[in-house]
């Protein structure tokens, strides 16, 4: 086999291996301590998750160390809820989030205040702190 053809075959094989490698499923016990901390709410169901979803959550966990304490707490509170949403619901949330970011800052603050008031009312009436609701 001539060197040029051999090098092309090697390059193709390398591409296939590199492309497929990150998609291999990883058991919970093989995650790093940091990844396990970030994805703690998914510990029970982790091993049953499809490879693609595991890769998605590992991508989220990658940025976990850079989050604030409040951010980490919110992530943990919402991760289970988020994982149970359908792909369509998640896509809808992304679109709405992007649209909300384009709203002028003062209007955005007004909406945030309304939501905060609503959450405070809910928690006052129920006697428990606000948590992520179950998906519909």
Partner 1 sequence: MTDYLNSDAIRQLLNRSAGQLDPSTLAGLRQAREQALLRHAPVGAGSQTRWHFGAWRPAAATWVATLLLAVCLFGGITYYWQQTRDSSEIDLAILTDEMPVDVYVN
Cβ atoms within 10 Å, residue 75: 19
- What gap in Å lies between CA 1 and CA 12, rounded to an integer? 16
- What gap in Å lies between CA 79 and CA 39, rounded to an integer? 8
Could you say which of 32, 45, 93, 103 contacts partner 1 (CB under 8 A)?
93
- What gap in Å lies between CA 37 and CA 45, rounded to an integer? 15
User: How far apart are CB 122 and partner 1 at their closest, in Å?
Assistant: 10
Binding mask 11-50 for partner 1 (x = CB under 8 A): xx--xx-xx--x----------------------------
Residue 23 in contact with residue 51, Cβ under 8 Å?
yes
Q: List residues binding partner 1 (CB under 8 A).
A: 4-5, 8-9, 11-12, 15-16, 18-19, 22, 55-56, 59-60, 63, 67-68, 70-72, 74-75, 78-79, 81-82, 85, 89-90, 92-94, 96-98, 100, 111-112, 115, 119, 130, 132-133, 135-136
């Amino acid at each position: 086999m001539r060197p040029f053809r051999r090098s092309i075959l090697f390059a193709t094989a390398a591409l296939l291996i590199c492309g497929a490698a990150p998609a291999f499923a990883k058991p919970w016990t093989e995650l790093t301590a940091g990844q396990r901390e970030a994805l703690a709410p998914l510990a029970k169901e982790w091993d049953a998750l499809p490879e693609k979803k595991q890769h998605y959550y590992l991508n989220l966990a990658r940025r976990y160390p850079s989050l604030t304490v409040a951010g980490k707490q919110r992530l943990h509170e919402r991760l289970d809820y988020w994982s149970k949403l359908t792909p369509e619901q998640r896509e809808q949330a992304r679109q709405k989030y992007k649209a909300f970011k384009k709203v002028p800052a003062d209007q955005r603050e007004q909406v945030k205040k309304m939501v905060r008031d609503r959450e405070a009312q809910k928690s006052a009436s129920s006697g428990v702190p606000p948590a992520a609701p179950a998906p519909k």
